[in-house]
Amino acid sequence: MSSSDIRDILQISKPSEPVQKKTKQTEKRPEGISRELYSLIGGAPPVAFVKPTYKAKFQTKKKTTPWLLQPFTNPARSDDLVLKHWVKESEVENQDYPFAKFNKVIDIIDYSDDDYEKYLTDSDWSKDETDYLFSLCRQYDLRFPIIEDRYDFQSKVRTMEDLKDRYYSVCRKLILQGKGPLSGEYIPDRQSLANQYAFDKSKEVDRKNALIMLFNRTKEQVEEEEALFVEAKRIEMNEARLSRERESLLNSLKLEQIQQVPSTPNTPVHTSPGGLASPGGIGITGGTAGGGHSDMKKKKKLSMSEDIKKGRKLSNGSSGMMEVDTSHDRKEKLTPGVYVRSQKLPIVKPAMQPKVIKVLEELGIGPRPIMHTAQICHKFEALQNSIVSLFELKKVVDKTEMEHKVRNPKGRDTTPTGRKRASSNAGSTSGNREKRRK
């Protein structure tokens, strides 16, 4: 027995099917869009708008518009020619030709016989030819290529530049004399208006000749010019890199040492185009300072340094002080290019420069020699090294005296006579003490 039979016996109605709740499908928020923005736009927009498939119903009850064939005249024509065209019946009353407004006529300046005799006379142009030129300008609206083609006056050959030059010169003269568009009393803008009619015949001829040469170039010349443009563009792009390489090259040559030379009245410092200063007004980019000594000079300096080392041995208390060496063993360096002998002179340390210059001024010698011969340069270098050595030795002596004063008590004499006086004074004071005790 099935469940349906049991329901029939017990007279129980068939239970109604439970209503299924529709689950709301929520679209997943795409990545990259915030939650607030996604809630505002209400989901993703449609991909594309669907084109409507219906068609507008043809209105068969609308009345047709009648058209009439009407004659008309064009105000731009002077022969009163009558033509016909189709127009709407509602527009028949408007008989004006709509395209007549596009007929723009250029206002050509007029002149009288008196004006021509006063202002416009020219040996190369007669009045009849000038009148003929102005009539063509009115007829063809200043289209000078057409005017040149139609120009035929007594078999004279006139170029387009000749025609333009004559027309603009006449207009300019008439405007300056109060004729033309600004006729009447004087107006301040008359000069500026006359400048608008300026025409330079020679420049126009040169311009056209240049265009003709440009047009007549061969294929090889065009390719060569394009290659030059590409090369110029490449150089412009690599300008920054080339400037960096140039700067590194100057740094490798140590030309910045020249800037350390002090500027004094005896040694004027001039700046080269590259921004580097050179003494004596000579801006040479080759060579470095401090090289190029002869072997004899080296031997002499070595012997002097050995004598100073032998005669200046410091005590154990001042063993930490520096020993003065007036020369350094420098190797001969080959300098590329041309250089000046004065640039080979050694450069003094910036801290020592004022002292050395002061000593040289007391001796009546300038900071730099005037004639830079080989002998003068060697002597000047030796004098400069001697002054530097003198200051170094003075520094050592001052340091030694300071250490000596610090180690010994104040007011104590360490000489032999001072020691005897101190011992005798000590004996007398001890005897007086014993007498007082007794």
pLDDT tens track for 378-409: 888 899 899 999 988 998 999 888 888 888 86
The closest of 156, 159, 140 to 204, measured between CA atoms, is 159
Reported as a single tens digit per residue, the pLDDT across 153-179 is 988 899 999 999 999 999 999 988 887
pLDDT band for position 289 (cuts 50, 70, 90): very low
Note whether 186 and 204 are within 8 A (CB).
Answer: no
How many other C-beta atoms lie within 10 A of the C-beta of residue 204? 15
Note whether 260 and 347 are within 8 A (CB).
Answer: yes
Helices H, strands E: what count in the chain?
14, 4
Rounded Cα distance between 263 and 392, Å, is: 24
- Given a cut of 50, is residue 290 above it in pLDDT? no
The pLDDT of residue 100 is 84
Average pLDDT, the chain: 74
Percent of residues in the chain assigned helix, strand, coil, to nearest 5: 50, 5, 45
Stated pTM of the model: 0.40
Note whether 278 and 284 are within 8 A (CB).
Answer: yes
Rounded Cα distance between 152 and 132, Å, is: 9
Rounded Cα distance between 309 and 301, Å, is: 12
- Residue type for position 176: L
Q: What are phi and psi of 411, to 5 degrees?
A: 80, 5
Note whether 57 and 70 are within 8 A (CB).
Answer: no
